[in-house]
Amino acid sequence: MNTTPHSFIKVAHVSLALGLTFTALSCQASEPVVIELTQTACQFLESENGLDHGYRSAKAEDCDVINASSGNERVGKAKVLNLKPGKYVFRVANKNVPYELGFWLRGASLLKRAVLPSVSGGGLTQGKVQDYAIELKAGDYVYSCPLNPTPDYKLVVQ
């Protein structure tokens, strides 16, 4: 976590590692907070408490089968990402999935999708890291990779 020597609190970079509370502080929104997420087959590592389940996937349908049997249980144990309203960059890495991935952050329901900001995109080939910038407003969100696919992980902005 990097901080600046100014008289205000600003977290300019948050790396989501095992044991981190997922809370980012920002009292001045001049620079976005960077949230790092790592995708492996069918999951985001940081969201599942750093636990790599070791899933193997050659195509999206493999993850559909895996998540049908374990996705709900894993999301129930996953950490909720708690953030303050403000500017963020979600820095997403494709660690070892042999096909193109993406990222999609949106409101947690159809109604919330209509009123809350969202960000999405693809192009995450194996070994690539890509940034997704967004200014989050208060509300309940989910994030996932529809191309991997992963479960919908929870994000709360308050």
Q: Where are the domains of the chain?
A: 2-157
The answer for residues whose C-beta is within 8 angstroms of residue 89's C-beta and 6 or more apart is 32, 33, 34, 35, 131, 132, 133, 134
The answer for residues whose C-beta is within 8 angstroms of residue 31's C-beta and 6 or more apart is 10, 12, 87
How do residues 41-76 score in pLDDT, each as one tens digit?
999 999 999 999 999 999 999 999 999 999 999 999
Residue 122 has pLDDT above 90, yes or no: yes
Q: What is the mean pLDDT of residues 102-123?
A: 96
pTM of the model: 0.81
Pick the CATH number of 2-157 from 3.40.50.720, 3.40.50.12500, 3.40.50.10490, 2.60.40.420: 2.60.40.420
Residue 38 has pLDDT above 80, yes or no: yes
Sign of CA pseudo-dihedral 63, 52, 113, 120: negative
> Higher confidence at residue 82 or residue 30?
82
115-151: buried (b, 16+ CB within 10 Å) or exposed (e) per residue? ebeebeeeebeeeeebebebebeebebbbbbebbbbb
Averaged pLDDT of the chain? 86
